[in-house]
Amino acid sequence: MRTVLTAAVALTPLQRIDDAAIVINDGVIEQIAPRSAVALPAGAVRRDFSQAILAPGMLDIHIHGAVGHDVMSADESGLASVEEFLAQHGVTSYCPTTVTASVESTLTSLERLARHIENRSNGNKPRARALGIHLEGPFISREKRGVHPQQEIVAPDLKVFERFWNAARGHVKLLTIAPELPGAPELIAAASARGVTVSLGHSDGDLRSAQLALQAGARHATHTFNAMRALDHREPGIAGAVLSETGLTADIIADGIHVHPAVVKLFLTVKGEDRAVVISDGTSATGMPDGRYRLGMFEVEVAGDRCTVDGRLAGSVLTLDRAVRNIMRFADWPLQRALRLATANPAGVIGAKGEGTLAVGGAANLVVLSSKGEVINTFVNGRALRS
């Protein structure tokens, strides 16, 4: 059975198609073009979204959990709940993200997540799909660890990484590391050689250490300005590398709390719509009322939009659709530009082919949005979240 979606606009997101139609066949996009150019298949189910916008499903490459479940400890039911929540907010794929914990705890979490990635069924409801794992720690700076437990931080070690890699069965997509640490360049090179995107973060490193990391294979930066040396005109640090190195992509938490809106705008002005990414850094508290929740092996406290441990920021309760709307507001960007930061760009960072775009032959993972970026409906492999 074919389904035809029609709307005022489709954003691929690189291309804008007015009066658009998308034909879906068995979960795959068969046609995408102006309505006048599409031969509507006989007997197809048609869904018209009138003045709405069709866009690729979003991809969150840095998220620790949601709706009371942390990805490091959640069982299959808990992960399914997280994924259903993500789909409600237009996210159709994601990278479950670890935090620094003991090596043994991390290995257990990686094994569980690898099984989930490999064995996941579609379930009864459309939900986001885990594409691979983001290792945030334990190879990070003690000075810029944020709320990561100091006693569990590990110096960059090829043997420890090998254990992580094996436990994850090769499903590590992204690794955050402090490049100034002894052994970091060697680990960066080894991880990069396996196709892992190495990201600079939780670091007190200077500009030179960042440049050496880029030479070793690093090509991304984690939550720019947070948990890294502050930008200084004489000691620019990794933030300086983010703003000056054209080959470096970087992500940012656009909640207006982690980074001031004016600085978010500066970041976007420099990185542009090609090299900037938005992340949620969401915790298990996302989508929940104020209270205490898990982040890895420790607890965080949520009050309003702030997620903290002993007064220090500890992840967020941001959703990616709200991050896109914030980008529109902070930088005065149109929806099409802002969408790239949550679709095509993060897909490019982790090398996820077929993700973050609407294209013939690609999976029908898409979101229906209002002109303001509000989620109306989400389709995962052609299945609608809302009937």
Mind telling me the catalytic residues?
281
Phi, psi of 260 (to 5 degrees): -60, 140
Q: Are 141 and 181 in contact (CB under 8 A)?
A: yes
SS3 80: helix
Instruction: Give CA torsion, residues 158, 202, 80, 343, to 10 deg.
Output: -100
Spatial contact of 148 and 162, defined as CB atoms under 8 Å apart: no
Nearest residue to 268 (alpha-carbon basis) of 369, 342, 357 = 342
Element spanning 267, H or E: helix 261-275
Say how many Å lie between the first and final Cα of the chain, rounded: 16
Task: Residue 233: count other Cβ atoms within 10 Å of its Cβ.
Answer: 6
Residue pair 140/178 in contact by the 8 Å Cβ criterion: yes
d(CA 209, CA 127): 40
Q: How is 155-212 classified by DSSP, letter by letter?
A: ---HHHHHHHHHHTTT-EEEEEE-TTSTTHHHHHHHHHHTTPEEEE-SB---HHHHHH
The CA R_g of the chain, rounded to the nearest whole Å, is 20
Distance separating alpha carbons of residues 280 and 313, to the nearest angstrom:
13
**ω into 34 cis (within 30 of 0):** no
